[in-house]
Structure 1
Amino acid sequence: MKSESLKAGTGIEGLDDILVGGFRRGRVYLLEGSPGTGKTTIAAQFLLEGAKHGEPGLYITLSETEEELRETAESHGWTFGSPNAIFELVPPESLLDDQQQQSLLYSSDLELGETTKRIFEAIEGKSPKRVVLDSLSEIRLLAQSSLRYRRQVLALKHYFSRNDATVLMLDDLTTENLDKTVHSVAHGVIRLEETAPDYGAERRRLRVIKYRGQRFRGGHHDMVIETGGVRVFPRLVSGEHRTEFKRETISSNSPALDKLLGGGIERGSSTLVLGPAGTGKSLVTLTFAVQAVERGEKAALFIFDEELGLLFERARGLGIDLQALQDGGNLLIEQVDAAEMSPGEFSQRVRSCVESLGARTVVIDSLNGYQQAMPEEKQLVLHMHELLQFLNRQGANTFLTVAQHGLVGDMQAPVDVTYLADTVVLLRYFEAAGRVRRAISIIKKRTSAHEDTIREYRIGSDGITLGEPLTNFQGVLRGVPEWIGENTLLNDGLA
């Protein structure tokens, strides 16, 4: 028997990746989380995936009506039909009638026994291979004590095991005391969580707490609920991805910029372009993206800060027709809303562009926008470390921009990722001869030697024009340089 047949896939690609194939057949699993975290949706996808392979499924519901479940399924475009079935388990009418209540026995004793009996009858009648029990909170309330609850769950587990069913038990964690009884009984436990940031859409994530006798991908994994079901984005582990490629030097379309960089950018490296707003950070990265397309490669731009229509218009004024490049199919441009997208989803999109679409140049503009998707700076650095390592190992060239606070003088970046990048390009404003000018320098390059000069540059209809090194100024990087002799500056139309 092939190892794949030992696993019951969930129908959710990302979750199956985390579980290394899915759930081991014939075992009981716990899916827990507060209301609204996606338990019902995942459970439904689990049954529908079984139906695709001819495995009969049964959804036993104690908390929702059959009508509510079918409405939920219809909202995703699903239909519960053969070989799946819904069994709505409600208390017998006699137990709801005040005149039939027992005086010597607690009604909960009768309800628990009757509930268990009806669950067994439902299993016997349909012999399902996949079962969902929703939810354990109702059984816990009927049991009234931790001991009775544990005995009841154990009885259900042994019964399901004898019937060779793969069972997903749902727990909405609505009881006052968070009983961990099922954690020790279940073969595996998955916890779903939801957080509400101060601004933007709610964020959902999951974590595999245990999976007995089976390795799995640990940590938190972002997820979303959308029309069509749940999508899970496995945490990126760069060490699991490595591709053989030729390390070569990639040039821009500016000989002067290539000279400043010591010949260009090495394949499979990351470049950080740092500077205040308006200094041309996006243009520098676009220069390399356009050059990649002209070489016949694919490039991907992820734009956080600028509206695409404005970006296209601005680039056109600089001699770059982004629309034509995009229509040609080799330039992929995506607007990213940091308030609506989790870091895990963003990493997955970047990964798809490289692995599925073959992008060899990736531009992230900017990290300021990316930071807004992160609750803490420390997490941003960890996410960026894994993402950059992944891209480097895939042989992709990554270009990141960071807008520093302020315009001249002492400036600070909102997050320091300079140590992560292989090359750091620094852009600055400075005042000279009664004009505001721009200067560029390379302050770090791991892969090769580079110029240690500071050059003035100008942005025009033909792109970036670089001048000679500013040898007779000092203090340019502070924004208020001091003239110490004759110097050649860029004049209008002259380099």
Structure 2
Amino acid sequence: MSGTDRTVERVRGPRGLGGDGHETGASVPKLATGISGFDHVAMGGIPASRATVVAGQAGSAKTVFAGQFLAEGVRLGQAGVFVTLEEPAVDLRANLQTLGFSVPDWEAEGSWRFVDASPVVRAGGTVEPYSLDTLAAQVGHAVDQTGADRLVLDSLNAVLSLHEDVGVARQALRSLIASLRGMGLTVLLTVETPGDPGGTLSRYGIEEFVADSVVLLRNVREGTFRRRTLEVLKMRGAMHHKGDVPFTVVPGRGMVVLPVREPEQAANLGDERLTTGDAELDAMCGGGFFRGSCALVTGPTGTGKTLLATEFLSSGAENGERVVLFAFEETREQVLRNARGWGHDLEQHEREGRLLIQSLYPEVASLDDHLVEMKDVVSRFEPTRIVIDSLSALERLGSPTAYREFVIGITSFVKETGIASLVTASAPDLMAGASVTESHISGLIDVIILLRYAEVDSSVRRALTVLKMRGSRHDSAIREFTIDDTGLRLGDRFGDTGG
């Protein structure tokens, strides 16, 4: 079967924001890349039998992208040739194996071939004359031996830098790409840029004169971490999503792109309610939270956010549900100790396999790495409830934009999976209740519970309000509450609360 015949192993869908448009004639055929999330951004993958440039600075994962593209082809029965123009094949082989790609096995079976076409440097430091015609012949020989459909050239900088005349280099490259496409190959070329690839892709004008598609990879420092983002700059004859999308590289998996997907519900969840763990609060919420809803508990420090989260978790575990706690501010031991102080034996639920506690210090990973890890935990443990305590602990890890995308990413994910979730967020002002997180995700949140302090008769008391309950009536009164060794106890309505 030829490369063109096998282009249908891709993501299909109706024309629109979620489809690739091919079936309606609005897009050329595409090949799946195997990069989690990228084929959604590219609406099906990269165009088949065409040339795609992947450009970015050092450390932006260009080679990972290229290797993953070839690996997916092998999995789909499409052999691949990896032409290395800089890094030795032995190093590439070892590096790609850490991402879970069985390159030696694929080489042995003839579905993967390395071609080392690096310029030869003589003893005196001079470089032997390099011919792109010779490179095309080497590639043609490897393609004939493997029956390859996919080809990677990594990286073009080493060869193009040998040409002083930009016009000559561009014309030679155009001829090379035309020759490769004439073999029926889908070609992916990597280019290293000195700065932001959006402004300085290459001095040879590859993006304008050679490539049908251009993918930009960025690696920008934000706070104490570097943040990687991806952008499909152009895709001739095909639709794609616009704008920067975050991604990370996960050992054993490779690149994981994190687009915000269109909201979709996997199942009809109906009107089933879940208890919050407090009968009075259930009544205020019209009978409890809906299954699949996302609740935000916000308020200043010490108001009882973690207590409400603990009661929500414990009530689920007591009902035989599987529940997960992501604790970003306390260790597992602190979580268990505090719960015992409120009359909840979380350790027993943990022993019986109903509770999983993931205690993670925010600084151990980037926001995107945390998001991938949390999704993996949920997919493996398959809980019906999760708690994130607290989202605010992650704010300092990146820019406001990165934090907003993280918050939207995790809340969108749990809503799509139908899991009931409760997240906490801290308000900076002790006598107020609004938080930065609330402003970012209020549109995605189904329930908002506000905890705050109120000054009454020269004393400070705690107050609770259900600000929002989507799809249900709720009691919006301001209720006083206390905390004792049995947990949270809701009291009467406040009169004039003052602050």
Aligned to 2:139: 123
Matched residue of 2:178: which SS? Answer: helix
The residue correspondences of 1:36-185 to structure 2 (distance < 5 A) are 36-52=59-75, 55-73=78-96, 76=99, 78-80=102-104, 81-82=107-108, 83=110, 84-91=112-119, 111=129, 114-127=130-143, 128=146, 129=148, 130-174=150-194, 178-179=202-203, 181-184=205-208, 185=210
Q: For 1:465 and 1:239, how far apart are their aligned partners in 2? A: 36
Structure 2: unaligned runs, 5 residues or longer:
11-28
Q: For residues 297-345 of structure 1, what are the alpha-carbon distances to aligned partners after superposition, in whole Å with 9 as ceiling and x for unaligned?
A: 3333222222222112211222222233234334343234433444445
- Letter of the aligned partner of 2:115 in structure 1? F
The alignment's TM-score, normalised by the length of structure 1, stands at 0.80
Distance 1:71 1:452, change over 3 A: closer
1:122 deviates by: 1.0
The amino acid that maps onto 2:33 is T
- In structure 1, the gaps of 5 or more residues are 102-106, 479-495
Q: Distance in 2 between matches of 1:56 and 1:331?
A: 45
1:240–1:153: structure 2 CA closer, same or farther, 3 Å change rule?
farther
Any idea what SS the aligned residue of 2:161 has? helix
Aligned counterparts of 2:370 and 2:299: Cα–Cα separation in 1? 24
- Describe how 1:269-348 pairs up with structure 2 within 5 A: 269-348=293-372
Percent identical among aligned pairs is 27
User: What do the CA deviations read for 1:368-401 (whole angstroms, capped 9, x no partner)?
Assistant: 123234411x564465456545544554333221
Per-residue deviation, 1:277:
1.0
1:186 partner letter: A
For residue 24 of structure 2, what is the aligned residue in structure 1?
none
The aligned amino acid for 2:212 is H
Task: Name the residue aligned to 2:21.
Answer: none
Is residue 400 from structure 1 mapped to residue 420 from structure 2 by the alignment?
no
One-letter amino acid of the structure 1 residue matched with residue 339 of structure 2: A
Tell me, in whole angstroms, the C-alpha distance in 1 between the residues paired with 2:43 and 2:356.
Answer: 31
Aligned to 2:255, the other structure's residue is in SS state strand
Give the root-mean-square deviation of aligned CA atoms. Answer: 3.4
1:243-282 residue pairs with structure 2 within 5 A? 243-282=267-306
CA distance in 2, matches of 1:231, 1:261: 41
User: What's the CA shift for 1:39?
Assistant: 1.5
1:4 aligns with 2:47: no
Q: Specify the structure having the higher radius of gyration (Cα).
A: 1
Q: Give the Cα separation in 2 of the matches to 1:245 and 1:177.
A: 48
Separation (CA, whole Å) in 2 of partners of 1:97 and 1:431: 82
Residue of structure 1 aligned with 2:53, choices 18, 30, 36: 30
Cα distance, 1:381–1:203 mapped onto 2, change above 3 Å: closer
Partner of 1:490: none
Which residue is equivalent to 1:188?
Answer: 213
Q: Map of 1:374-393 to 2, 5 A cutoff?
A: 374-376=398-400, 380-381=403-404, 384-385=407-408, 387-388=410-411, 391-392=414-415
Q: How does 1:467-478 map to 2 (within 5 A)?
A: 467-471=491-495, 474-475=496-497, 478=499
Q: Deviations over 1:249-292 (max 9, x none)?
A: 33233222223334322334332212221121011122222223
Q: Distance in 1 between matches of 2:350 and 2:266?
A: 28
Count of matched residue pairs: 460
Q: Distance in 1 between matches of 2:492 and 2:32?
A: 62
Worse overlay, 177-186 or 1-10: 1-10
Distance 1:149 1:437, change over 3 A: same
AA matched with 1:213: G
Residue correspondence of structure 1 range 348-367 to structure 2 within 5 A: 348=372, 358-367=382-391
Superposed CA offset, 1:160-184 (max 9, x none)? 1122222221101149883362223
Q: Do the aligned partners of 1:194 and 1:203 also contact (CA within 8 Å) in 2?
A: yes
Q: Deviations over 1:36-81 (max 9, x none)?
A: 1111223233334444455443322222233443453455565443
Post-superposition CA distance 1:343-365 (Å, at most 9, x none): 44545555556667543333222
CA shift in 2, pair 1:244/1:373, >3 Å: farther
CA deviation digits over 1:428-484, x for unaligned, max 9?
33566897543323334343333344333232332222233344xx335x2xxxxxx
CA separation in 1, counterparts of 2:234 and 2:85? 26
Paired with 1:274 and 1:92, the residues of 2 have a C-alpha distance of 63
Distance across 1 between alignment mates of 2:435 and 2:354: 32
Bigger shift: residues 379-388 or 251-260 = 379-388
Query: Which string of whole-angstrom CA distances, capped at 9 and with x for unpartnered residues, describes residues 108-144 of structure 1?
Result: xx83xx3313212212322251322122212322232
Contact 1:268 1:397 in 2 (8 A): yes
Structure 2 CA distance for partners of 1:385 and 1:475, relative to 1, 3 Å = same
